[in-house]
Amino acid sequence: NANNLQTETNGSFWHGDIISGKDFIVLTEGIGQVTTLPLAAQYQRCSLSVEELCSDKNNPHKYDAHCWVPRSDVEPKTTPSQGFSSQASWHPGNRAHQSESRKAALTILTGLKNALQIWENAIDETGFPLAESYWHIGDTYKSVQETLTTYINGPGKGTSECEKHFEKFGFERVCRMTMHGMSEFTPVNLGGANSLHAHIKPALNGWVPAQTAVSVYSGIDILPVSWKIPATEVDVHAIAIATTYKKPQIDQMYGDEGSDEDDDGDAENSRSLRSNTIQQHQPLERAADRNTLSDEVVPGIGWGIFSEALSEVTGYCDGSAMSLDCHREKNNNCLLSGHNDGRNTISGDGLSGWLVVQIPKLKEGMIFARMEWWHPRDDWYLTEGWTEVNNGSRSLGTPIPWPDDVFIDLAVNGEIVSTWDKAQFDSINVAISYNEAFYKFLDDEDFIQNEEGEPVEFGLRIRSESDPRMAGLSLTHVYYA
């Protein structure tokens, strides 16, 4: 918590707490009275006599979701649903989200106002241009991180809440280092650039798992008329975009067109994150290289992306306003939801061969992953009809067990470093929380001798002679330090 971090960083940690704030909202006391309240305050806090108007269950005012607004330029491929499916009683609802987002926005605006005042005072005192120390805070972050690292690896070692929890699973060391990760779940920081599939080493024939779904449409959505702010109410969005500046004359649209002659390449490198961060490797004809049951760590051609229904990624998915086209796949029956929630996996089975993940930089000798061992089972599409390696849904119910002769081989830089049999895997298959289990692939502080760290290739293979298609495995996240 914040108090612990204040101790662990010697008081240098910056933090803020956004309180509930419900007590400050005017009471809704009845159907007639509520219409006299500001729109954003309606049905937020009810008196006991009309408590059902603000309750989590059977509250007709909690949600106002729409899945589609008819438009002349786009025709959905799937009939839009009449309501969004995740409107559960335990979810906050759009009014609560609006209230929380406005509190966060006001906090940020207050901070910006104070920062601008500091800048103005600094320019008055030291002149223009403003010294970089006033608007670069990287050194501050670095100082806080170094102070924290020194404490948790010194006098505070073994005392943090993180270590107390993870030591039960043998993962306490991860609490004392800077971790990095990649994920096939969405949203994910930097979108496809931090996905698992973007770091998979291609097979000899070029095969690599890839997102190939395309968006039904692009650009902004047309919003429902019911969301229009009445003329008598405060329109926060209209205020935020209001300006007295003239429309710029330059073309600020991102695209894939070539750059001007004086472009040194930087513009091309930064062009359109949304369209370029997801690698679009097309599946090639699978080669007849089947000899991967040897100890040679060669990327296999039987690993691919498993997508849940409505979870195919079609664009940039980082949870921000940049991810408009994240899940606009053809099977989505609620395109207007704009949600980024997706639980795709990198999946394979006992015929898939080696999965080789390229770790950008390993310093602390730590690699572990979140896996879903319960699927696939005898239904992985990439190995359908195969009888030899390389061809020579998310289910939380009762999982189908692996064959008894299953083995998982782990390799680093082309060398097998460990092999788990079924009994060994079962001994570490312990959830740290609901549906969350981590599996340690490498934990060796002396593995990397270079203080700056170095790239590493990590390999995983699952195999079974008796029933290889029943020996399925899926990865969702890989973490490393």
For 150-181, give the DSSP string: HHHTTTTTTTSHHHHHHGGGT-GGGGGS--EE
How many contiguous H segments (helices) and E segments (strands) does the chain have? 9, 12
Provide the b/e sequence for 352-378 (b: ≥16 CB within 10 Å): bbbbbbebeebbbbbbbbbbbbbbbbe
Calpha distance 480→363 (Å, rounded): 9
Identify which of 437, 376, 471 has the alpha carbon closest to the alpha carbon of residue 171: 437
Residue 111 identity: G
Identify which of 307, 255, 304, 260 has the alpha carbon closest to the alpha carbon of residue 276: 255
Calpha distance 107→16 (Å, rounded): 9
Cβ–Cβ under 8 Å, residues 331 and 312: yes
Torsion of CA 122, 126, 132, 136, to 10 degrees: -20
3-state helix, strand, coil in the chain (%, to 5): 30, 15, 55
Say what the pLDDT of residue 397 is. Answer: 55
Cβ–Cβ under 8 Å, residues 462 and 363: no
pLDDT one digit per residue (tens) for the chain, 481 residues: 666 888 889 888 887 777 777 888 899 999 999 999 999 899 989 999 998 888 877 778 888 889 999 999 999 999 999 877 778 888 888 888 888 888 888 888 998 999 999 999 999 999 999 988 888 888 888 999 999 999 999 999 999 888 999 999 999 999 999 999 999 999 999 888 999 999 999 999 999 999 888 999 998 899 899 888 998 888 888 888 887 777 666 544 434 334 444 444 433 333 233 233 333 333 333 333 333 456 799 999 999 999 876 568 888 999 988 888 898 999 999 999 888 989 999 999 999 999 999 999 999 999 999 999 999 999 998 898 888 887 764 444 577 899 999 999 999 999 999 999 999 999 999 888 888 899 999 999 999 988 899 999 999 999 999 999 999 999 999 999 9
Say what the pLDDT of residue 16 is. Answer: 75
Query: Residues 408, 413, 415, CA angle at the centre, nearest 5°?
Result: 55
- Read off the DSSP letter of residue 124: H
Calpha distance 44→346 (Å, rounded): 42
Say what the pLDDT of residue 277 is. Answer: 30
Cβ–Cβ under 8 Å, residues 44 and 95: yes
- Read off the DSSP letter of residue 46: B
Structure tokens at 16: 């803020």
Residue 380's contacts (CB-CB under 8 Å, 6 or more residues apart) are 302, 304, 347, 348, 349, 352, 469, 472
Torsion of CA 254, 255, 259, 264, to 10 degrees: 60
- What does pTM read for this prediction? 0.82
Structure tokens at 45: 């806090």
Say what the pLDDT of residue 98 is. Answer: 87
